[in-house]
Structure 1
Amino acid sequence: MPLQMKLSAITLDCPDPLALAAFYQEATGLEPHPKSDADFAGLNWGDGLLIGFQRVDDYRAPSWPEQTVPQQLHICFKVAEDLDVAEARLLELGASKPDHQPPDHQPNEEKWRVLIDPAGHPFCVVRE
């Protein structure tokens, strides 16, 4: 029988935890964890899940889509907004959109987009 486990946290390595937390806070509207600092910052989801950002010395951003430095983690976010609106807002906040979109994404660009956060982590926005 499997353990009764509930995911409680996801933590991303980065060079500047407060800056990356600020990006995701603006993107999601989540509340910052009250003990966030320059070495570890977090955002609280309503269901108790924490997304954390931890400082790593000599951090190397993923080199997506190449795997010279693996992507390490890929997060997907559902958005209620039109994807063009969501993408434009995320780009304003500091995300970037890679020229390369996986071939299986191209015919589905009306359903999801691959973006890169300010620390280099790929993530998707998915139409809800």
Structure 2
Amino acid sequence: MVRERAAGGSYPAIAGPRHEASVSRGEAWTDAAFRPFHIQAPQRSGTQDRKKVFMFEKIRIKEHMEVADINGQHVGTVDDVEDNRIKLTKSDAGDNMHHFISLDEVEKIDDNRVYLKASAVIPQGVKG
């Protein structure tokens, strides 16, 4: 790639085929005519971004954390995180069984409490 000096003075940092053609025709380089080439990173799909959030949330959710609805009302206590689900303790269930809540239902995590979204589906059998 040949770098030609513009009539006004300086050399361009990057020249592309469009600009080299204008120089060969004797046209001067201008700021308006010269635009550096930008290489953009490939866009990630929402699924990949959500997977990152899952991993981040899974790391932050620990055993014995309280699970609450959007209003702060107790729903249960974390027993474990399995796959993309929070496993609640049996002691918080009226039927003495483990119940699960999807990580999709998590709105935020503050201190030692997991808050669920307003639209979260709370499993039947959880005392709350």
TM-score past 0.5 threshold:
no
Bigger relative contact order (CA 8 A; separation at least 6): 1
TM-score by length of 1: 0.20
Structure with bigger strand share is: 1
